[in-house]
Structure 1
């Protein structure tokens, strides 16, 4: 085995990672400079109300901590071999055998679903997931995700989905689709992240919150920043759901380290 070549590969990978992080940090500092100065000139909640932007309560100024994380997409081929499983692009789709299907009460969904997952449920890595409550008009899907030190992942690489009927009070779980992350570990020491209040200021000053809209919900969660050599890199981000009309809810993301808007695309570094 050529150990020098292995060392060179790892050196190039981590050099690429650090250069990318440095670039995104400096770029965000340039982008957000004027915005931060303008935003502090007036109380953000008063400005939202002046633009007829509604919200509940107040936006917290509490400072949290978070990490740069790395993780790998779990290879389900290594852990399941059932004929009724479908595995594609690190996503497992499974129809539960009749004997394994359960019926839960919609009113006690979280309690009964948690008991199901941590018990003898035929859910791969079921105990790793926690229930999420995404602000949406859709009622036909239950979504769960993994978490790290109490902060959830809000990313398609770490989700468990159950399809459910629209209006029934009793929900029968017949199947699911899931993605899962393995080898989750910090890349750096824990760092402070911006407050909910600061994230809202950035969105407002970046014209991402339209007039006469409604801020439905905010959440601090991990999101994928980029992929390098089959390893995903995640950062904490503020997710903000904005209702622009009765049938349209848009979701915005703010990098909680740099307080800058995150673009929709996920780059892949190939080095």
Structure 2
């Protein structure tokens, strides 16, 4: 009860704060088409942007020792449990197609002797690199972008996965009623108006998913978030930005998570 009271107080404060940010930072006089033209004149490149809205929840989940209790079912690997995370090495490397690694892993991950709760995860091409294949946990129709809810497979130079790490959120539940989210177009426009997109930048990809808002042990509260990956033109480095999909307020990073070889910044 104390946890949920604390969560409610925090969510109310975040709602008020983000609404104030929205009112202070967004010019209501400009139309979307005018602003997107300004972005293009600033040499900011992006594809077609959806104007459709969807619906989502606040959700919560907990990180406990559920993975450790099921480690005994894993076969042909040597797992260790460190800080709510499985770290495991395969006894025999697993061959994958470097151009389509998920084709092999999607079949294997359903086997409970290969992976615990593998059906809870989905391949993320955007977060993966040539050396690291990333899967993210799914919840209530969306994906969770957090280091506390993902699998990372690590490849050697022979295109074989040799080891992996896994984290998992348990007891995922919805908080409050389902609410409308802002569109992809509106999220990008607000990010631009917050001066978070430099000139001569390309929008590499955008995703609507859940990212962590607050931790009230043992619970984590997640909010629907527009995750926007921006890349300086002619650069491989990608930086992740977050926009609150309910209010349009920018969400600042508190620590570096979901970090890989091609991504700077992270998602908690």
Q: Is the 2:32–2:189 contact (alpha carbons within 8 Å) kept by the matching residues of 1?
A: no
Q: Match of 2:160?
A: 172
1:120 is displaced (CA, Å) by: 5.2
1:125 and 2:117 matched: yes
8 Å contact kept, 1:25–1:258? yes
Over residues 59-81 of structure 1, what are the superposed CA-to-partner deviations in whole Å (9 max), with x where a residue is unaligned?
11110111111101141332225
How far off its partner does 1:234 sit? 0.6
Are the counterparts in 1 of residues 108 and 114 from structure 2 also a CA contact under 8 Å?
no
TM-score, normalized by length of structure 2? 0.86
Higher helix share: 1
| Deviation per residue, 1:149-181 (Å, 9 max, x gap) | 331111111000001136x5xx32222101001
| Residue number in structure 2 paired with 1:54 | 45
Per-residue CA distance 1:72-124 (angstroms, 9 max, x = gap):
114133222589322222111001222xx431223342222211111355212
Stretches of structure 1 lacking an aligned partner (at least 5 in a row): 1-9, 267-271
Are residues 1:215 and 2:207 paired? no
1:104 is aligned to: 96
How high is the TM-score relative to the length of structure 1?
Answer: 0.85
Unaligned runs of 5+ in 2: 256-268
TM-fit CA distance, 1:42: 4.9
Find the residue that maps to 2:177 and give its secondary structure: coil
- 2:226 pairs with 1:238: yes
CA gap 1:120/1:27 in 2 versus in 1, 3 angstroms: closer
Question: Equivalents in 1 of 2:196, 2:91: separation in Å?
Answer: 46
8 Å Cα contact 2:89/2:162 also seen in 1? yes
Equivalent of 1:158 in 144, 149, 170: 149
Alignment match, 1:191: 179
Q: Deviations 1:36-58 (Å, cap 9, x if unpaired)?
A: 334744523211111011112x1
Aligned length: 249
Where does 1:26-105 land on structure 2 (aligned, <5 Å)? 26-38=16-28, 40-43=30-33, 44-56=35-47, 58-75=48-65, 76-81=67-72, 84-98=78-92, 101-105=93-97
Q: What residue is the counterpart of 1:3 in the other structure?
A: none
Tell me: CA distance 1:66–1:49, structure 2 relative to 1, closer, same or farther (3 Å). Answer: same
Change (3 A) 1:111 1:84: closer
Superposed displacement of residue 208, structure 1: 0.4
Alpha-carbon separation, structure 2, partners of 1:155 and 1:47: 33
Q: Is the 8 A contact 1:93 1:178 kept in 2?
A: yes
